[in-house]
Structure 1
C-alpha cells in the first residue's frame, strides 16, 4: 500500500506521462511506475475526482482504460511535468555543495549534478540560481577530518558566547555536521559526555592524546564496544555515533551495534539508564562499574 505522499508524487508524474502517451498499455504503464495493475487502476479512478477548483464535471479529469489501453482527457492543467521551484532547487544545490565537501565521494559527479540543477532552475526563472555553501575555515575542516579518520583527540580553545569565556577542551571528534554553521560532534573529556561545537567559535586547535578512561584508568585510547538492544531500545542506535549496526529477528527483534567509547564512567551510567533494553554487552568493566554505582 502506497503512502499518501508516494501516491501524490506518482499521480503528478502519471498524468503527464499518459497525456504524452495516449493509448498506453495498462500493464506496461504499471510496470513503468513499478506498481501492479490494480494499484494503477485505483490511481486512475482517483483522477475522476481530481481537477480544477469548482469540481463540476467539466473541471475534472476523465480517464478510461477499456481494452487495456489508457486515455485521459481534460487534464491540461496537470499534464505539464512537475518542475522544481527556486527554493527547492536552491536547497538541492546547497545539499550537493555540502556533500561535495565530504571525503570519499565522486566529487565530479556531485559537481556535475549541481551544475545541471543550477542551469535548469535558472532556465525556469530566467535568472541564475546562486547558492553559497556555509563558510568554514578550510584548514580547521581538514584538521578535523583527519582527526575523525584517525580517531584522534584534539585540544581546542573554544569561545562560549553565553559566558563571554574562552575555554580549553580536549575532545574526540566523530563527525562534521552542516547547519546554520558548521559543527563538530565530539566526546568532550571535560564534560564526560557528547557535545556539539560550532566551528566558528573554535579559536585555535592542536593534536592531543586521549586522556585516560575513567573508572579503572584502563588505558589511554578509546575502545570499541558491542551492544545488543531490544526492539524497545532500538531508537538508542540513532543517538550514538555507530561504527556498525545490524538488525536481527531471531525470535525477538533486536539491533546489534558497535561504537567507540571514550569513558567507562559514561558507559556505566548509560547502562544504568537503559538497562531494561540492553540485552547484551561485551564490556565487563563497564558492567562492574554500573554494579558498583548501584551499591
Structure 2
C-alpha cells in the first residue's frame, strides 16, 4: 500500500495526466503510474472530495471510469504539472554548480542543464532564481582539477592561521570538497599523511615532481598499485573514491582497484587494517613492510 506522501505525489501527477489524455484506458493508466487498477480507482474516488475550499459540488473534481475509460472535469486549477518552488530550484541549480567542479565529468552537459533549470524555474515561478556557489579562485580551481585528473604533484605556499605562518609543501591532490570554504584533500609529503587544505589559505601554486619517500631505510617514489578486494571489502573502493575499478565474478563478486600510492608506510598500514578483505596485491614491498610491523 502506498504511503500518504506517495499517494499525494501520484495524485498531483495523475490529474494533469488525465486532463491531457481524456478517455485514457484505465488499465494502461494504472500501468503508467506503476499501480494496479484497484489502486487507481481508489485514487479516482478520492478526487470526488478534492477541489477548491467551499466543498460545494461545483468546487470538487468530477471523475468517471465507466467502460474502462477515464474522464475528469472541473480540475482546471490542479491540472497544471507541479512546479518547483524557488528554494527547490535554487538548491538544484547550486548542486549542479558544485557538480561542475568535480573532475572527470562532462562539464558542458552539467552547465547546460543548470542553465535550462535556471531559465525554466524563473519563467514558471516568475521569480528570479539566484544561487551563489562557494567563491573560489577560478585559476586555482582549474589548476587543481588538472592535477587531480593527471595525478600530478603540486607545490603550494599554504598559510597556517593558528601559527601565523606561511608554509611551503609538496602535495598530491586527490579530491575537491565543498563546505564553508572549498577544501582540497591531498597527500602531504612533509607530513607523510593525508591532509585537507582550505583553498582560501593557498597563497601560490605551481607544478612539482613527486619527491622520493624514505620508508624503512629505502627510497620509494609514488607508484601505481593494483589490489583485489573480496565482496565484504568492496566498500573500500568507494571509501577511497577511485575511478579505476573493475568488477568480476570469481565464485563471488569481487572488485579490482588501481590507484596511486605515495607512501609504502601508509600502504603497509592500510594492508594491516584491511587484511581480511584484501585477496591480492601486486606490491611486494608493501607486503614485506606490513609483515615487519607484525614482528
Query: Hey, what does 2:282 align to over in structure 1?
Result: 282
Query: For the residues of structure 2 that align with 1:9 and 1:217, how far apart are their CA atoms?
Result: 63
User: Does the 8 Å CA contact 1:100/1:107 hold for their aligned counterparts?
Assistant: yes
- Choose 99-108 or 137-146, whichever is displaced more: 99-108
Answering whether residue 42 of structure 2 is matched by residue 45 of structure 1, we say: yes
- Larger CA Rg, structure 1 vs 2: 2
Change (3 A) 1:228 1:108: closer
| TM-score, reference length from structure 1 | 0.79
After TM superposition, the score normalised by the length of structure 2 is 0.79
Shift of the 171–95 alpha-carbon distance from structure 1 to 2, 3 Å rule, reads same
* 2:225 equivalent in structure 1: 224
Matched position secondary structure for 1:238: helix
Query: 1:181 aligns to what?
Result: 181
Count residues with an aligned counterpart.
Answer: 290
- For 1:1-295, what aligned pairs fall within 5 Å after superposition? 9-30=9-30, 32-33=32-33, 35=34, 38=36, 41-42=38-39, 44-45=41-42, 48=45, 65=65, 67-71=67-71, 79-101=79-101, 107-213=107-213, 214-215=215-216, 217=218, 219-231=220-232, 233-295=233-295
User: How much does 1:279 deviate?
Assistant: 2.5
| Aligned-residue CA RMSD (Å) | 3.6
CA distance in 2 between partners of 1:281 and 1:60 (Å): 68
Q: Which runs of 5+ in 1 are unaligned?
A: none
Query: Separation in 1 of the partners of 2:129 and 2:282?
Result: 52
Report if the CA contact (8 A) 1:65-1:71 is conserved.
yes
1:246-273 Cα shifts (integer Å, max 9, x gaps): 3345433433322221111111111111
Q: Deviations over 1:42-78 (max 9, x none)?
A: 3553565685899x9x999886655432345786675
Stretch moving more, 166-175 or 22-31? 22-31
Is the Cα–Cα contact under 8 Å of residues 86 and 129 in structure 2 kept in the other structure? yes
Are the counterparts in 2 of residues 225 and 260 from structure 1 also a CA contact under 8 Å?
no
Q: Distance in 2 between matches of 1:241 and 1:10?
A: 36
**Secondary structure, counterpart of 1:133 in structure 2:** coil
Distance 2:153 2:221 in 1: 11
Task: Tell me the distance in 2 between the aligned counterparts of 1:61 and 1:269.
Answer: 67
Q: Deviations over 1:210-233 (max 9, x none)?
A: 1224346353233233231332x2
Map Cα deviations across residues 5-53 of structure 1 (whole Å, 9 max, x no partner).
87765553233212332321234435645x4x63x64355356568589
Residues in 1 aligned to 2:201 and 2:40: alpha-carbon distance in whole angstroms: 53
- Residues 112 and 144 of structure 1: CA distance in aligned 2, closer, same or farther (over 3 Å): closer
SS in 2 for 1:242: coil
